[in-house]
Amino acid sequence: MKRKNTLFRIFGYLMRHKLPLFSVLALSLLGNLLALAGPRLSGEAINLISDGGVSGRMDMPQIYRYCLLLLFFYVCSSLMSYIVNVSMITLSRKITYTLRRDVFNHLVTLPVSYFDTNTTGDILSRISYDIDTINASLSNDVVQVVSSSVTIVGSLVMMLRISPPLVLVFTVTIPLALVLASYLTKMVQPMFRARSKAAGELNGYVEEMISGQKTLRAYTQEERVIKDMNVQNKKLVDAYYRTDYYASIMGPSTNAINNLALALISVFGAILYLRGHINIGGISAFVLYSRKFTGPIREIAEIYGELQSSLAAAERVFRILDEAAEPADRENALELLHAEGNVELSHVSFGYQKDRTILKDFSMTAPKGSLIAIVGPTGAGKTTFINLLMRFYDIDKGAILVDGHSSLDLTRKSLRLAYSMVLQDTWLFYGTIYENISYGRPEATREEVIAAAKAARIHTYIESLPQGYDTLLIDDGTNISKGQKQLLTIARALLMHSSMLILDEATSNVDTRTEHQIQAAMRSLMKDKTCFVVAHRLSTIRNADCILVVRDGNVIERGTHAELMKLGGFYYEMHQSQYQ
């Protein structure tokens, strides 16, 4: 993403608040103009004193008037500067809120494939660290740049009015500063991008290690993780050091050039004074204006690093906003309001990558109310089958029919609401048990929630808790066991008024006895509803109406448990291997 494009997009967010932005700019302009009057008044006062020293008569009333005006202008300028800073903090807060809202809202629209290929830590780093970096730049640096620009232009105009020949000094120093700035910009900008990327990678690694603490300790990998963390940490620290080192060159270098300009002004100003082309007050005012002229250039150079950092952060944030959202539903797509549950896959082929097909010519039929089990070795395509049913991914070839309609002709929302889904990886949010169970149906009554909990064999446990259904779950339910978390997700799925149920290793974290009880309860509750069960424990699918044996993306066997055992094929081998 080009830096110019990034700047325009940030400016677009600023322009959403035109009135406060232009008010801030007007106050900044007025405050700087008042401050620019100071050196002129100071020079006039010095001329009066100088002339009075020669003639022996001091015009003290006029000198006092200049001093009072000088005090008044500087006080008003400081007050306006304070108002500008406070206003920009408020404005940047609004822009940051809008930007973070836009990013999160867009994230919700992104396809599942985006989250499959980007780490959670890196995404969180963009939402938090990168947007906070932009906020700091907007609240501080933007005001500084605007204020400095006004001061530079105003000081140049005033110096031209005092002595145009002396201004020629800057024809030497300014090009030097511009060449230096251009060189450092090209050199440092990629470093800021690399620094933001390193920060995202470190956040991703830390998030992964914290999430996998139990596995880490179980395999006693603490020392290796510490070493890897040190490598990631050093990479980020080195990126910060390298970036800040080269960015810090700008300030001292510009300061040296400014001091050179001041020295030249002093020399040539003295020559012009001796020749009668300028007076003492003019030299004094010109020196003050030259400091106002070169000072902002130095200040801009000093905040240059922060501006580059915020631009690199903005690029990472805008990359999320530039990600293509999940494709829109087809024109005149149908709403699947009352699904019966007849599902058919006809010669379906699909691959996450174009050159690698996962499911190959996959076909099956699931009549209303049937229980379909999908079994097979790891990597056979079972989870891919579930992803296609839910339209997390769209098929490459073939057709998926729901009640005779192609899934591509249905709206994603209505299709997904037709399914209840329980995954092996449970997910609970911060809230009460009641809120977690009723997540899919917030309008559900307490009686319906309790009935779902009883069916999932979790009601007795909930009632044993001090707050019962009002017990607060924290940090993805870390205060309850994995099995209890899974039972809660099953209760949540049972509460949904859906025609189809997907269970992807949904009972892997509960004991066999509880699993059989849950399946018996679910079988009665799912009467006239279509169930898709992905299972590794074959004992749990003995009563399935049809078992699909998937291997290398193909259905190699299908039938009931008894039929497949009688066949003596791959399913038979899998079954025997579990009980030998």
pLDDT tens-digit profile of 334-354? 888 888 888 998 888 888 887
Angle at alpha carbon of residue 165, lines to 164 and 166, rounded to 5°: 90
Instruction: Check residue 270 and give its pLDDT.
Output: 80
pLDDT at 570 over 60: yes
> pLDDT: is 86 or 146 the higher one?
86
What pLDDT band is residue 430 in, cutting at 50, 70 and 90? confident
CB 87 within 8 A of CB 24: yes
pLDDT at 53 over 60: no
Instruction: Check residue 524 and give its pLDDT.
Output: 57
Question: What confidence tens digit (pLDDT) does each residue in 535-545 have?
Answer: 777 777 777 88
pLDDT at 55 over 60: no
**208-227 mean pLDDT:** 73
Instruction: Check residue 54 and give its pLDDT.
Output: 47
CA-based nearest residue to 465, from 444, 448, 480: 480
CA-based nearest residue to 266, from 290, 235, 301, 302: 290
Instruction: Check residue 525 and give its pLDDT.
Output: 58
- The DSSP call for residue 334 is B
What pLDDT band is residue 305 in, cutting at 50, 70 and 90? low
CA-based nearest residue to 312, from 200, 451, 175, 151: 200
**343-372 mean pLDDT:** 86
Residue 516's alpha-carbon distances to 492, 500, 508, 512, in angstroms, are 18, 20, 12, 6
Domains of the chain, start order: 3-322 (1.20.1560.10), 343-579 (3.40.50.300)
Question: What confidence tens digit (pLDDT) does each residue in 150-170 have?
Answer: 778 887 888 888 888 888 887
pLDDT at 51 over 60: no
Q: Give 402's strand partners.
A: 343, 405
Question: What confidence tens digit (pLDDT) does each residue in 191-210 have?
Answer: 877 887 787 778 777 777 77
Instruction: Check residue 3 and give its pLDDT.
Output: 66
pLDDT at 24 over 60: yes
Distance CA 291, CA 516 (A): 83
Per-residue tokens: 547: 């078992």
Q: Which residues of 454-479 are buried (b: 16+ CB within 10 A; e: fewer)?
A: ebbbbbebbeeeeeebeeebeeebee
Instruction: Check residue 314 and give its pLDDT.
Output: 87
pLDDT at 52 over 60: no
pLDDT at 56 over 60: no
Instruction: Check residue 266 and give its pLDDT.
Output: 78
> pLDDT: is 530 or 427 the higher one?
530
Q: Is the pTM of this model over 0.75?
A: no
Coil/strand/helix, residue 331: coil
**479 Cβ partners below 8 Å, 6+ apart?**
473
Residue 261's alpha-carbon distances to 24, 161, 253, 520, in angstroms, are 32, 18, 13, 88
pLDDT at 332 over 60: yes
pLDDT at 530 over 80: yes
Query: Percentage of residues in the chain with pLDDT exceeding 70?
Result: 88
H helices present in 15-141, as ranges: 18-55, 60-109, 112-117, 120-125, 131-136
pLDDT at 275 over 80: no
Q: Which residues of 162-171 are buried (b: 16+ CB within 10 A; e: fewer)?
A: bbeebbebbe
| Mean of per-residue pLDDT scores for the chain | 80
**38-65 mean pLDDT:** 67
Question: What confidence tens digit (pLDDT) does each residue in 504-522 have?
Answer: 776 666 666 666 666 655 6
Question: What confidence tens digit (pLDDT) does each residue in 221-249 have?
Answer: 778 888 888 888 888 888 888 887 777 77
What pLDDT band is residue 399 in, cutting at 50, 70 and 90? very high
Going through 237-379 in order, the beta strands assigned E by DSSP cover 343-350, 359-366, 371-375
Tell me the backbone φ, ψ of residue 372, rounded to 5 degrees.
-110, 125
**Taking the CA of residue 353 as centre, how many other CA atoms within 13 Å lie in the half-sphere pointing to its CB?**
4
